[in-house]
Structure 1
Amino acid sequence: MIPKLDDYKSKWQLESTDMIKPGLEAITNALKLLDHPEKKLQVVHIAGTNGKGSTLTFLEQIARLHGLSVGKFMSPCIVDVHDQIQINGQPISEQELDAIFKVMKKAGLHNRLTDFELLTCVAFLQFARKKVDLVLLEAGMGGREDSTNVIVPIVSIIPSIALEHTKFLGNTIESIAAHKAGIIKIDTPVVIGRLPEDALTIIQKEASEKNAPLRIIGEHFEIEASLEGDSYSNHEKGITISQLERKLPGRHQGDNMALAITAFFEVADHFQLTVETQKLRDGVRAARLPGRFEQVWPNIYFDGAHNPASAQKLVDTLQAEFPNNNIRFVIGMLADKDVATVLSIFETISDEFYFVDFSNERAMEAENMIGISKAAKKCILNKKISDFTHCEGITVVTGSLYLLTELRGRQEFL
């Protein structure tokens, strides 16, 4: 469920379903009724298991500092439906969303789409109406059959591939990679992160078949960390950019930053812009993203680690940032995720867990999570999260971005 979306659907009597229905037929027909707003946009398309939001955030800041107006469509929301569609960092307003729902109602979209497809149409209409220079478009699930995959981008980005949404995407790395590879378009460059070998093979095959230039981290470009800041090197362009000081911690965020810089070179070529080193540095430094190792109180962090790959990255970051601190987790997860593996990863650095019930139909009950956990100290959360500021050590609230969204709106938890 997307908070507040139902309010607009009810107001305009424009129904859609919250079911997941992969495929492009419905969205294609809907966009035809809307006079194809997606064809008026210049897009960067991103799909992957983890790292999408962070990569787009780095890219957004860099692009804006180079003078481009930037529309961004991301999921899930931070607070409610409005912040999923932003222009230059500002969420779509109630008045703008009302105006777009009026257009969609008149076009006859009632009962034609899923919620995510409907929201994709909203994003395309908003960005076309506002005539933004650049759209950063995040796939909702997979790629090939995701409703966002109706555009031809300037560049595609695939930060990572791991097991996820196996009910829809298949239960092997190869099958999931085949879905992600679907965002690669003919003669269109694609920038990729550190992928498993089986996934890399699939991506390389798709890129070859579509004559899509491939830029691979560690081969065509790389990132090196130092005390003075990260150093980015692009071997094709023969350049090195040092003193990149990012506020998003962790090695994986260094990779995401490098992907964004590499993609921006493609964007700059498209718009015939000169890439300015200091603006790259300033953009990297300005990048922030709620729910990605986000400090909400002095010793309390929110992080939406929801699968084994992101859980391990969170553990690595905690060990690097707080090597001598006690760690405790406040956690709620969706039942269709690999809960047992995620918990086992967190249990390598902590033996103290507080489980949370939250109002998502896919959420696993906190009592069930306690049964899965092997931690010595485990219970259902019975205090406000802010109360942990009085406890020794670091508290990490994690497990699902949907959990973090709900917590922000419920004062009895904060």
Structure 2
Amino acid sequence: MISVDNFLIPIQQRFQNEYNLDKVLKKLNNIEKNIPVINVVGTNGKGSTSFFLSNGLKTKYKKVGLFISPAFLYHNERIQINNEPISDDDLKKYVLKAEKFIKECKLTFFETWTLIAIMYFNDNKVDIAVIEAGIGGLKDSTNLFSNQLLTLLTSVSYDHTEILGETIEEIIYQKINIAKPRTTLIVSEDNYKYKKIIESKLNKDITVLYSNKLEEETIIYQKANKGLAKKALEFLGINNFNCLDLKPMIGRFTQVNYHNRKIIIDGAHNLDGINSLISSIENKNEWTVLYGSIEGKEHKKILDSLDANFKSVNITNFDFHKSWEIDDIDHINKIKDWKQFIEESENNLLICGSLYFIPQVYDYLTSK
């Protein structure tokens, strides 16, 4: 497996004024049309929902593709068939295939990964694929998957507002209109409060269904994700729900026993995600919080919410080019060395924040 620390894709640009993956797909005779897909959009819960759903689909389909982001520990995680990550050799082979298009058409980082997934799924003739959006939906490169069976909308809140818009109406519009005409959109129960907005912003000729939370789930914020996956499986005529008993993906309420202490690590990184995480923690007085973020998040609101629920909330920076600078943050408890903090802390730890920070913590804990 190829660590995310290794430079793999020969382009790091995330955004640009014009996106060109559609031009590449035309050169390839639009092979994306060969791949029946379920698109998964939303703000929080996309990865978990995609994980549970892809496992459930294996009870009906022989080959199930899965495209998720970001990668947690290994680049290979982004592209899977039957929940097995693409091999190192295949990944390197498809990166080489993509390189000429990167140069010719000036693809972005995420467009390149989408292209690799399309080529890999097409060559392996997957029966169906679960496709998690990167950011948004309508403007996301995953919108180019045209053979759409279904769209799922996970919990929606404010995130990436510089791209998706400053209002919840704008954000919802961008996400739900990845749904193609004459298809079905299934909406998480978390979004029932936005029912009028969803149905007013959705393009015509889309059927909208709403899922219910899976109440027997013990992790509170996974109730809606699992309920959404279950509704999608039922829609496809699948009544085997054993996939919902699986542990979530790493970095989603992952519990680690470390030196006789409990540590929970979770990639909650926006206000809605943080509040959902808080609701899932029992006996809050027993936990010390360590939070690491990237630039441009709702820092004050997030920290206010954490401070209101836990006695000790600490912030830290980490090794990533977009990591925030904690010296610029108005908060009293600042940790310069998070590894030392973990070693010296005597309390149970809730470590949360950026999905670029949480993998570093998990790797450190497991390697120790």
Q: Same fold (TM over 0.5)?
A: yes
Asked if 1:156 is matched to 2:119, the reply is no
Kindly report the root-mean-square deviation, in angstroms, between the aligned alpha carbons of the 2 structures.
Answer: 2.6
Matches within 5 A, 1:4-403: 6-9=7-10, 16-21=11-16, 25-106=19-100, 109-110=103-104, 112-152=106-146, 153-194=148-189, 199-207=194-202, 209-217=203-211, 222-223=212-213, 225=215, 230=216, 246=217, 249-268=218-237, 275-276=238-239, 279-280=240-241, 282-297=242-257, 299-318=262-281, 322-323=282-283, 325-369=285-329, 372-373=330-331, 377-381=333-337, 383-384=339-340, 387=343, 391-392=346-347, 394-403=348-357
Instruction: Specify whether residues 121 and 69 from structure 1 end up closer, same or farther in structure 2 by C-alpha distance, changes over 3 A only.
Output: same
Q: Secondary structure at the match of 1:160?
A: coil
Rounded to whole Å, the distance in 2 between the matches of 1:224 and 1:122 is: 34
Q: Does structure 2 conserve the Cα–Cα contact (< 8 Å) formed by 1:173 and 1:198?
A: no
Q: 1:288 to 1:198 in 2, by over 3 A?
A: closer
Q: Any stretches of 5+ residues in structure 2 without a counterpart?
A: none
Going from structure 1 to structure 2, the CA distance change for 1:346 and 1:119 (only over 3 Å counts) comes to: same
Partner in structure 2 of residue 272 of structure 1: none
Q: Please say if residues 292 and 352 of structure 2, whose CA atoms lie closer than 8 Å, have aligned partners that are also in contact.
A: yes
- Deviation digits for residues 255-278 of structure 1, max 9, x if unmatched? 11111111112333xxxxxx33xx
Superposed displacement of residue 292, structure 1? 0.8
Task: Name the CA distance, whole Å, in 1 between partners of 2:366 and 2:192.
Answer: 46
Q: Once the two structures are superposed, what CA deviation does each residue of 1:9-68 show, in whole Å capped at 9, x if it has no partner? A: 2xxxxxx34232376x41101222233231110101011111111111111221123444
The AA in structure 2 aligned to 1:403 is F
State TM-score, norm by structure 2: 0.89
Secondary structure class of the residue paired with 1:191: strand
Q: Deviations over 1:261-319 (max 9, x none)?
A: 11112333xxxxxx33xx31x2111242111101122500110111110000011001x
Q: Counterpart of 1:265 in 2: which secondary structure?
A: helix
Q: 1:346, CA displacement in angstroms?
A: 1.0
1:154·1:266 contact (CA, 8 Å) conserved in 2? no
Letter in 2 for 1:391: E
In 2, Cα distance between equivalents of 1:391 and 1:108: 49
TM-score (normalised: structure 1): 0.80
Q: Distance in 1 between matches of 2:138 and 2:88?
A: 31
Contact 1:46 1:156 in 2 (8 A): yes
- Contact 1:59/1:260 (8 A) holds in 2: yes
How many residue pairs get aligned? The number is 362
CA drift of 1:91 comes to 1.5
How far is the alpha carbon of 1:195 from its aligned partner?
5.2
2:67–2:78 Cα contact (<8 Å) kept: yes
Q: Which runs of 4+ in 1 moved over 6 A?
A: none
Q: What secondary structure does 2:8 align onto?
A: helix
Give, as a single letter, the amino acid of the residue that structure 2 aligns with 1:398: C
* Structure 1 residues not aligned, in runs of 5+: 10-15, 231-245, 269-274
CA distance in 2, matches of 1:72, 1:3: 18
Whole-Å separation in 1 of the counterparts to 2:17 and 2:244: 34
3-state DSSP class of the match of 1:257?
helix
Could you list the per-position Cα deviations for residues 331-353 of structure 1 after superposition, in whole angstroms to 9, with x for gaps in the alignment? 21011111111111111222323
Report SS of the residue matched to 2:20: helix
Letter in 1 for 2:244: V
Name 1:3's counterpart in structure 2: 4
